[in-house]
């Protein structure tokens, strides 16, 4: 291999080549998450990679689709690459690995032309001074992936074994059992439907949007060809996008007109909107000013209002406790993998342990913000027991003035399968399968309804 100073100057990156800029942004985002910055969310990595790229909406959608497909079957894709690379997958070279993974994802999982996936991946390789000498390798490997596509697809095995990180597969087997763990892994490959929360005229909007009215109270869309902002009712604020499971904690809290309700860790604001739409006076608290700006814009579109407070919830004053408190605590987000497949590959057990400590402190704070006789709902979009039932068991042991209100199937439209042995809400990605969209299912959510004794 020639030393770097003897290599030819690589051809300049040409963003006018159709599809090249989108693939560059996807490659950069995937490389970021495969490298040291594993804790970053894919949406943030895409935004970071896209700065200055000025992608048209269609190009931005393509970049997101490529990056998402890369993580949805990352284990399977890496195994296919490893079998066709003499020295194995280049784990220590995230930009090279990202080129190979995003190229293979396009060939194996997306409706794009093979020649475009291969040619544009090679162009990106040639435009990288550190990788240009590997363009023949990238070309050969991706062409082989294209030739052997059907054989590779036929080799895709059990997603729990071959497409789930070992630490997560072990946890889900231990917590939910072998069969349920397999169903969770299968649901992750199917992706997520688009659900809407509609505060008024549910049947009317289900008809107008061509969606299914779920008995849990949401509308599930059959498909979304364009941006949701182009759908009827968006501009006038008739609905907002929110997974059906994510809408359940507020329905359990059941805020009423005139009640003072605190929504802690509130951004991006779907639950704040639910509380405000119920007629309650809501205080939305989040430490991120940028995320609260988005919350404010959403409320403005929906014609709803809230007191918005930029603050660390742990530092809120406790002199005026609330009638009800919702704590949607920061968590590992392993319940959202069907929607955000990068989570499976960018989080680890250390994150679960670290976040469980924060959740404990926030839960105790939320308790002090709840008036005697008031209600507290704790929820997370995690499948991990330390972030769900384990938190509540410990909380009740150290807070004897609180009691759990055990849920009944009637509160969940008869869905007894969504209630765990302790009487708390526990949804799984494999629940509510068979919807009208590309996928059924629910985000994995935990929620516990608690009452402070008066």
Return the SS3 of 263: strand
- pLDDT number for residue 66: 98
Active site residue 381: yes
Could you tell me the mean pLDDT of each successive run of 10 residues in the chain, 454 residues long?
A: 50 83 96 85 94 90 97 96 95 96 97 95 96 97 97 93 96 98 95 94 95 94 81 96 97 97 96 98 97 96 97 97 98 97 95 97 98 98 98 97 98 97 97 62 97 94
- pLDDT number for residue 105: 98
Q: What are phi and psi of 243, to 5 degrees?
A: -55, 145
Options 265, 331, 379, 381, the catalytic residue: 381
Return the SS3 of 363: helix
Listed in order, strand segments (DSSP E) in 20-152 are none
57 CB burial (10 A radius; 0-12, 13-18, 19+): exposed
- pLDDT number for residue 9: 62
- pLDDT number for residue 4: 46
Inter-residue contact 97 to 90 (CB < 8 Å): yes
What digits encode the pLDDT tens for the residues 365-396? 999 999 999 999 999 999 999 999 999 999 99
Inter-residue contact 29 to 49 (CB < 8 Å): yes
Listed in order, strand segments (DSSP E) in 210-259 are 211-213, 219-221, 240-241
Percentage of the chain with pLDDT > 70?
96
- pLDDT number for residue 54: 86
Q: Residue 454 has which token pair?
A: 């008066």
What digits encode the pLDDT tens for the residues 215-265? 999 999 977 766 899 999 999 999 999 999 999 999 999 999 999 999 999
- pLDDT number for residue 8: 60
- pLDDT number for residue 7: 53
Provide the 8-state DSSP code for 412.
Answer: G
């Amino acid at each position: 291999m020639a030393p770097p100073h003897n290599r030819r100057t690589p051809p300049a990156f040409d963003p006018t080549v159709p599809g090249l800029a989108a693939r560059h942004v996807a490659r950069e985002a995937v490389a970021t998450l495969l490298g040291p910055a594993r804790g970053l969310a894919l949406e943030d990595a895409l935004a970071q990679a896209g700065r200055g790229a000025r992608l048209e909406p269609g190009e931005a959608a393509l970049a997101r689709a490529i990056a998402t497909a890369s993580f949805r079957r990352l284990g399977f894709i890496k195994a296919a690459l490893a079998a066709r690379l003499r020295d194995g997958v280049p784990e220590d070279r995230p930009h090279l690995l990202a080129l190979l993974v995003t190229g293979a994802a396009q060939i194996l999982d997306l409706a794009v032309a093979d020649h475009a996936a291969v040619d544009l991946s090679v162009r990106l390789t040639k435009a990288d001074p550190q990788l240009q000498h590997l363009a023949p390798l990238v070309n050969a490997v991706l062409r082989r992936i294209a030739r052997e596509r059907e054989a590779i697809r036929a080799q895709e095995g059990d997603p729990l074994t071959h497409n789930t990180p070992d630490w997560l597969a072990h946890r889900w087997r231990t917590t939910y059992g072998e069969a349920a763990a397999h169903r969770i892994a299968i649901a992750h490959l199917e992706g997520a439907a688009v659900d809407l929360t509609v505060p008024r005229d549910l049947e009317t909007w289900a008809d107008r949007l061509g969606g299914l009215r779920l008995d849990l109270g949401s509308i599930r869309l059959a498909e979304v060809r364009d941006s949701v902002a182009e759908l009827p009712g968006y501009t006038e604020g008739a609905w907002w996008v929110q997974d059906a499971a994510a809408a359940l904690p507020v329905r359990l809290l059941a805020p009423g007109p005139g009640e003072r309700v605190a929504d802690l860790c509130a951004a991006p604001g779907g639950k704040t909107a639910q509380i405000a739409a119920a007629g309650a006076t809501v205080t939305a608290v989040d430490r991120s000013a940028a995320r609260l700006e988005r919350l404010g814009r959403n409320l403005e579109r929906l014609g709803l209002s809230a007191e918005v407070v930029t603050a660390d919830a742990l530092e809120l004053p406790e002199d005026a406790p609330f009638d009800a408190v919702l704590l949607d605590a920061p968590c590992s987000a392993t319940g959202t993998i069907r929607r955000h497949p990068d989570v499976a590959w960018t989080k680890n057990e250390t994150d679960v342990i670290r976040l469980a400590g924060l959740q404990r402190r926030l839960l105790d704070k939320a308790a002090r913000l709840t008036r005697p006789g008031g209600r507290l709902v704790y929820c997370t979009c995690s499948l991990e027991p330390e972030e769900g039932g384990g938190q509540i068991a410990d909380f009740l042991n150290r807070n004897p003035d609180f009691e759990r209100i055990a849920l009944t199937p009637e509160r969940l439209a008869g869905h007894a399968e969504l209630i765990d042995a302790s009487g708390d809400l526990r949804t799984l990605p494999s629940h509510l399968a068979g919807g009208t969209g590309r996928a059924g299912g629910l985000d994995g959510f935990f929620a516990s309804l608690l009452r402070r004794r008066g």
